[in-house]
Structure 1
Amino acid sequence: MRQIVILFLALLTFLACRGQREPNPGEGKPVTMHPRLLLLEGEEQQIMAQIQKYPEWNTLHQEIITECNRMLTLPPVERVLTGKRLLDQSRECLRRVFQLSYAYRTTKNEQYLRRAEKEMLAVAAFQDWNPTHFLDVAEMTMAVAIGYDWLYAGLSADSRSKISEAILKKGIEPSFDDRYNDFLTQEHNWNQVCNAGIAFGALAIAADHPEIESKVVERAVASIPKAMLPSYEPDGAYPEGFSYWEYGTSFNVLFISAIEKALGKDFGLSQTPGFLKTAGFLQNMIGPTGLAHNWGDSGLNDGLSPAMFWFAEKNKDPSLLWTQKKRLSQKIGNNVHNRILPALLIWGAKTSLDAISPPAKRQWIGQGPSPVALMRSSWTDPNAIFVGLKTGSPAVNHAHMDIGSFVIDAQGERWAMDFGMQDYNSLEQKGVDLWNRAQNSQRWEVFRLNNFAHNTLSFNGQLMNAGGFAKIDSWLDTPSQLAAITDLSDMYAGQINSAKRGIAIRDDKWVVVRDEVQTGDKPAKLRWNLLTAANVKIIDDKTVELTQKGKTMLLVFQTNAKIEIKTWSTTPPNDYDAPNPNTTFVGFEVTLPANSFEMFNAIFSPSGALPQVNPLVDWK
């Protein structure tokens, strides 16, 4: 009922807004003249002021100009599919047109305009934008819409006609074809990206097709909450993980920002429960090593995130940009690979880098479809301890059987890691049934995706329950202990009676992983697994030495059970699996009697000293 009310009010607001045609964005009224997407006429001056004030902004600006100079000699993208996708070409077109258009608007150098025009005319001549994989259409539509809108005054009449026609025929019209538009009902990133891309197209050509603008925006305002509500409520933990946060959330923000500028309202979308909190999720997902907690189909490396600047401004919380400020200062020179990079300079036009301070809290807990606990000993110490605990369900889009898995940073290194994703096309070309998440799906035979490849528990060599679910049941945030506890029992239904896991940072010195397992009427063989890139040496029947880059971490097991410490190869068994060089599985196996209860402590200690570990019921 709440969702219906939100949508109804949003649509009423939109229809009322449509009657206000005087261009006065300062009063929240619609803008009808080009440019109307993201950056209005004259707003370039705010960006240029930032460039003059902050060397970091100037470096970013100059990166874009240098890259655009390089683009001048490149041929336009071609309609070349990778497997079933045109997506690489669509994304490259968006990167080029967005940056070239930005370069023209901030320098007025006509070379950039003509090169962007050439790119747009090339893709406008494609037979189609591959609507069978609609993300391709959405990103291509956004690319051409930005260029058309931002460069409108400098485009020839013939170019305007061809580009506008392509937006309509190859972008917008296929989105009303039921063969291609199931994104409208999806609860994941496809909804966010596709609605955003098509809305950009409708806003760009609205002067010639006002009825299309109304139809597309009304539809998007009704559709996007279907993804936003389950994706961000209640705390902002994005179900699809770090990389897909960047994708789905960034395009969601692009949509909201575009309609705010063009139509004067966001129709209440930014107030969707949990949405403004989600910047805390991304901020806390990055460890002091600069590496992300890369669970699910996710990449590992941290990069600049334009959307974080939008969230910092909306929340009036500069501390959300703590890791972004560090990234800006690194000047590594590959920021131009980010296809929406100009949006950072737009959304950060009012950002005071001097006002950015470390976050106050060292722990972030997010529930939802993929609950997480993220904690660290410090925001300022590069050698700080960082722990990320992942729960949730394998049934979530892009999820793995990684429930209860964790990563650990300490001493400037990652000791407990996650493989992250494997390239989809490499699996699809081999005929792998990748997108079926049923219990017996071939998806779970992919080496990186099942529970045996994650830092979690397995019983009797069986897969986790693909339909199971676990949440963060309780947590602690005290000066001496940051901790989270999860009940994993549903993940092992029919295998054991119960399993609970607690993970803690103790006294800013140790990481403690405690597991408490109750078997059923049959014995159960338990495998406790850790994936690491460190060199592994088994010291004795309770101790493992991990070393990397001259640093040492001891992994000490405490239990009354007769465990056998082992290592396992990370070389996958299938020809479709990606290789995993320079990694090792280490842990233990133990056979637990029927109807027994056992506890296991795994303590990560840099010195060999060990803390006292109490039962989970006493973690208070």
Structure 2
Amino acid sequence: MNRKECFSTLLVLLFCLFASAQHDSVSASTQFPAHPRILWLKGEEKNILQTVRTDATWRKIHESIMAECDALTGAPELKRELEGRRLLGVSREGLRRIFFLSYAWRMTGDKKYLQRGEKEMLAICGFSDWNPSHFLDVAEMTMGVAIGYDWLFDGLPEASRTTIREAILQKGLQPSLLGRNNGWLRASHNWNQVCNAGMLYGSLAIYENEPALSREIINRGLRSIVLPMEDYRPDGAYPEGYGYWGYGTSFNVLFISAVEKAFGTDFGLTGLPGFLKTADYLEHVTGTTGNAFNYSDAGNGGGLQPAMFWFAAKRKEPSLLWVERGRLEREAPGRHIRNRLLPAIMLWGNGVRMKDISAPQQLFWTGNGKSPVALMRTSWTDDKGIYLGLKAGSASVNHAHMDAGSFILEADGVRWGIDLGMQDYNSLESKGVRIWDKGQYAQRWEVYRYNNYAHSTLTINDSLQRVTGNAPITKHSASPALMHAVCDLSEVYKGELLKAGRGVAIVDQSYVVVRDEVEAPQKATTLRWTLVTPADVNITGDNTAELSKNGRKLGLRVETPLKVQMKSSPAVSKNAYDAANPGVTLTGFEVTLPPGYRGSITVLLVPGGLQHKTYRLPGALAEWP
């Protein structure tokens, strides 16, 4: 064992000693329900059947799950095939298949779903291992097999039960006890949430056969999962962004929901500060187009989030489901069948009538924490309205990019200002790119989509933003006359600027203003202002441009006493490993700040185009209410 492994093992031992000194929530006297006990107790099927019979939307979801299960009965079995260092794609598909098939069996009693679920599990249990070196793979595989074992328990032959149970133990739970595999126990990001959830499900599934080990892992999870849940303080903004909210938060909800169902209590987890508030974040981070503000490592677009139905039920606020209602009613059911957690929506949303889901009242939301954001719109019901999102924070946060001060903009049904989002990890790792190093000059920041050059923010002297810098949101207002947020970017540009502040606003519910206030050092300083856009760009004057897309227009005008040079170029990287960005343009301008310059640059963004009239430009950021 090398020094690093010794140190890791020591940390785990210290963690376990500290944890064992605390009170165990689950003891030998704790009562466990009989199978099925994970998420969905015996006899609860009848409530869902009643909902399916009486509600067309829920019936459509149910029928899409059943149709997919019918298709799965003829699919080839999964094989242990790694993609790079990950088995995660196979694990996720395994979870999806088993979750779907087990749901179908419990809802219909049709043995073809039982037999296919059994076949899937036996194939997975025959793998040499579930890839513990990348423990997310083990966690999702364990969760899937545990759900199948528990939900299909009464129909499984004893020989199959034994095989599946031993695999959960030997390939799921036991590897989590080794220090080299369980660093996630001390993490405050999605790995903790996903891995603890997977191990909880495995422990609940085989409790009768491994009571002591199961209790140890359940209690360990209850103590450990509070670490990532701390990151929802104070307002619910998820530090890793939309994409990882759909991962980490969903598995956190799966953890709590299973604990509640099994023990009749959540042991205080739901009440941790900020956690229930995160449903507001998820709803507001989705724009008028239905796509999310995809900052950090998030993909483009948006998708159905089953966990939102759990939050809405907990808070007794159906309006939290406004976005989800829109997806269910407007999108074809087939779009959702790749969501491996889709059956959970039938459990958590059971009984919610779509007609009872009304639009939210608030048009503005802001959240502080590790990755502060401000999200504002002119309407929830007008898909042509304005949506504006501001990202602050730090590049040091897990999965973050150098995007402090960046924004997205939607109007007239078009996303004018975009975030390029993530690039597939394996596409970079397979080329030898070290994307997990977060040092100031790490190779991660050479990836095109990760640095500030390709975000809608400022670049100073062609330099990277400071990784250790942090940009807080310092003020905001939901006033319809000047709906806005202001962030302090000074730390992010330390060494290049003495001070930097950015305010973004929707003015009079009609157009957008981005105001930057800077103080330069005693040397000439080059400032580049960028808008990343999928639109066609036509530079129309010394300080103006017109963007066009889908028959719509957006006018851009720069207001500053300094001479600016308008620029526009394709979003093309020189690195062979970077993903292509077809149809995307970087537009904006460059300006030279004189030595010691203190002043502002204001950019006006007008849906419909500049109309050659006077627009109200807010004054200094200090005067914004």
Cα deviations across residues 465-509 of structure 1 (Å, max 9, x unaligned)? 011101110001113121000010000111110110000011110
Q: Is the 8 A contact 2:26 2:218 kept in 1?
A: no
Question: How many angstroms does 1:263 deviate by?
Answer: 1.7
The residue that corresponds to 1:317 in the other structure is: 317
**Residue identity in the other structure for 2:343:** P
Within 5 A, what are the aligned runs for 1:442-453? 442-453=443-454
Match of 2:114 in 1: 113
Paired with 1:345 and 1:337, the residues of 2 have a C-alpha distance of 15
Q: Offset at 1:78? A: 0.3
Give the Cα–Cα distance (whole angstroms) in 2 for the partners of residues 465 and 519 of structure 1: 16
| Alignment partners' CA distance in 2, 1:58 and 1:267 | 34
Where 1:490 maps in the other structure, the secondary structure is: coil
Q: Contact (CA 8 Å) 1:427, 1:434: kept in 2 or not?
A: yes
Instruction: Give yes or no for contact 2:618–2:624 (8 Å, CA) kept in 1.
Output: no
Which residue is 1:180 aligned to?
A: 181
2:155 corresponds in structure 1 to 154
SS in 1 for 2:25: helix
Partner deviation per Cα, 1:110-153 (whole Å, 9 max, x = no partner): 10010010000001010000000000000000000000000000
Within 2, Cα distance between the matches of 1:340 and 1:64?
A: 11
CA distance in structure 1 between the partners assigned to 2:97 and 2:187 by the alignment: 29
Offset of residue 334 of structure 1: 1.6
Write the distance in 2 (CA, Å) between the matches of 1:87 and 1:67. 21
Q: Is 1:93 matched with 2:104?
A: no
Q: Is the 8 A contact 2:364 2:377 kept in 1?
A: yes
State the Cα distance separating 1:330 from its structure 2 match.
1.5
Letter of the 1:51 counterpart: V
Q: Which amino acid aligns with 1:613?
A: P
Aligned counterpart, 1:264: 264
Within 5 Å, give how 1:223-234 maps onto structure 2. 223-229=224-230, 231-234=231-234
| Secondary structure of 1:56 counterpart | helix
**Distance apart, 1:368 and its partner CA:** 0.4
Query: 1:378-414: CA deviations, max 9, x gaps?
Result: 0110101000100110000000000000000100000
Matched position secondary structure for 2:270: helix
Correspondence 1:614 to 2:619: yes
Give the drift of 1:9: 13
Distance in 1 between residues matched to 2:139 and 2:286, nearest whole Å: 29
* Aligned amino acid, residue 80 of structure 2: R
Q: Contact 1:561 / 1:598 at 8 angstroms: preserved in 2?
A: no
Q: Which amino acid aligns with 1:597?
A: R
> CA 1:605 to 1:321, structure 2 compared with 1: closer, same or farther past 3 Å?
same
Q: 2:331 and 2:594 mapped to 1: Cα distance? A: 57
Q: Find the aligned partners of 2:558 and 2:396 in 1 and give their Cα distance.
A: 32
Q: Take 1:10 and 1:117, find their aligned partners in 2: how far apart are those partners?
A: 40
Cα displacement (A) at 1:8: 8.8
- 3-state SS, counterpart of residue 385 of structure 2: coil
Q: Does the 8 A contact of 2:427 with 2:577 survive in 1?
A: yes
Range moving further from structure 2, 604-613 or 415-424: 604-613
The aligned counterpart of 1:388 is 389
Counterparts of 1:62 and 1:99, CA distance in 2: 11
Partner of 1:565: 566
Structure 1 gap ranges (5+) = 22-29
Deviates more, 1:41-50 or 1:253-262: 41-50
Task: Give the residue type in structure 1 aligned to 2:599.
Answer: E
Contact 1:11 1:267 in 2 (8 A): no
Aligned equivalents of 1:8, 1:296: Cα separation in 2: 33
Q: Which amino acid aligns with 1:603?
A: L
1:11: Cα distance to partner?
A: 6.3
Q: Which residue of 1 aligns with 2:357?
A: 356
What residue in structure 1 maps to residue 442 of structure 2?
Answer: 441
Sequence identity, in percent? 49
Contact 1:416 1:530 in 2 (8 A): yes
Contact 2:57 2:354 in 1 (8 A): no
In structure 2, how many angstroms separate the alpha carbons of the residues matched to 1:536 and 1:359? 35
Question: Is contact 2:365-2:374 (8 Å) kept?
Answer: yes
Tell me which residue corresponds to 1:294.
294
1:14 to 25, 34, 39: 25
The whole-number CA distance in structure 1 between the counterparts of 2:470 and 2:20 is 34
SS at match of 2:435: coil
- Unaligned 5+ segments in structure 2 are 1-14
Q: By how many angstroms is 1:13 displaced?
A: 7.0
Distance in 2 between residues matched to 1:163 and 1:19, nearest whole Å: 26
Provide the rounded CA distance (Å) in 2 between the counterparts of 1:8 and 1:183: 15
Q: Take 1:331 and 1:441, find their aligned partners in 2: how far apart are those partners?
A: 41
Q: Is 1:44 matched up with 2:66?
A: no
Secondary structure at 2:337 match in 1:
helix
- How far did residue 569 of structure 1 move? 2.6
What is the CA RMSD across the aligned residues, in angstroms? 1.4
Partner of 1:422: 423
Deviations 1:253-311 (A, max 9, x none): 00000011112221111111100000011100100101110000001222111100000
Please list, as runs of the form range in 1=range in 2, the aligned pairs for 1:327-406 lying within 5 A after superposition.
327-332=327-332, 333-406=334-407
Aligned to 1:24: none
**Cα deviation, residue 418, structure 1:** 0.6
Structure 2-normalised TM-score?
0.95
2-side partners of 1:433 and 1:282: how far apart? 30
Q: Does the 8 Å CA contact 1:104/1:112 hold for their aligned counterparts? A: yes
The alpha-carbon deviation at position 615 of structure 1 amounts to 1.1
Judge conservation of contact 1:238–1:245 (CA < 8 Å) in 2. Answer: yes
- Contact 1:363 1:477 (C-alpha < 8 Å) held by counterparts: yes
SS at match of 1:271: coil
2:253 equivalent in structure 1: 253
Distance 1:111 1:418 in 2: 45
The Cα shift of 1:20 comes to: 4.1
Large movers: runs of 4+ above 3 Å: 7-13
Name the residue aligned to 1:412. 413
- Structure 2 contact 93–340 (Cα < 8 Å) conserved: yes
- The structure-2 alpha-carbon separation of the partners of 1:11 and 1:270, relative to structure 1 and needing over 3 Å to count, comes to farther
**Separation in 2, partners of 1:129, 1:325:** 36
Q: What is the CA distance between 1:353 and its match in structure 2?
A: 2.0
Say if 1:11 and 1:218, in contact at 8 Å, map to a contact too.
Answer: no
Alignment CA distance shift 1:15-1:147 (3 Å): closer
What is the aligned partner in structure 1 of residue 6 from structure 2? none
8 Å contact kept, 1:10–1:268: no
Q: Aligned runs of 1:436-585 on 2, under 5 Å?
A: 436-585=437-586
1:550 is displaced (CA, Å) by 0.5
Q: Which residue of 2 aligns with 1:190?
A: 191
Partner SS, residue 547 of structure 2: strand
Secondary structure of the corresponding residue to residue 343 of structure 1: helix
Quick check: 1:10–1:267 contact (8 Å CA) kept in 2? no
Task: Specify the SS of the correspondent of 2:207.
Answer: coil
User: 1:552-611 CA deviation, whole Å, 9 max, x = no partner?
Assistant: 110111111100001123111101100010010000001101111121111111242422
What is the distance in 1 between the residues matched to 2:364 and 2:23? 40
Q: TM-score, normalised by structure 1?
A: 0.96
Matches within 5 A, 1:580-591: 580-591=581-592
Work out whether residues 24 and 219 of structure 2, in 8 Å CA contact, stay in contact via their aligned partners in 1: no
Write the distance in 2 (CA, Å) between the matches of 1:144 and 1:576.
36
Cα distance change on mapping 1:327 and 1:10 into 2, 3 Å: farther
CA distance in 1, matches of 2:345, 2:403: 33
State the distance in 1 between where 2:23 and 2:349 align: 31
Q: Which whole-Å deviations, capped at 9, do the CAs of 1:42-64 have from their partners, x for residues lacking one?
A: 11111112212211100100000
Is the CA contact (8 Å cut-off) linking 2:393 and 2:470 kept in structure 1? yes
Conserved? CA contact 2:19–2:220, under 8 Å: no
Give 1:598's aligned residue: 599
8 A contact 2:238–2:245 mirrored in 1:
yes
- Residue 34 of structure 1 corresponds to 35
> How big is each residue's C-alpha offset from its partner over 1:171-200, in whole Å with a ceiling of 9 and x where there is no partner?
000000111100100110000000000110
Equivalent-residue separation in structure 2 for 1:536 and 1:612 (angstroms) = 23
Distance 1:312 1:502 in 2: 32
Q: Which residue of 1 aligns with 2:3?
A: none
Looking at structure 1, the residues matched to 140 and 19 of structure 2 have their Cα atoms a distance apart, in angstroms, of 28
SS of residue paired to 2:491: helix
- After superposition, the C-alpha distances for 1:404-444 in whole angstroms (9 at most, x for unaligned) are 00000100000000100000000001111100011010000
Stretch deviating more after TM superposition (39-48 or 239-248): 39-48
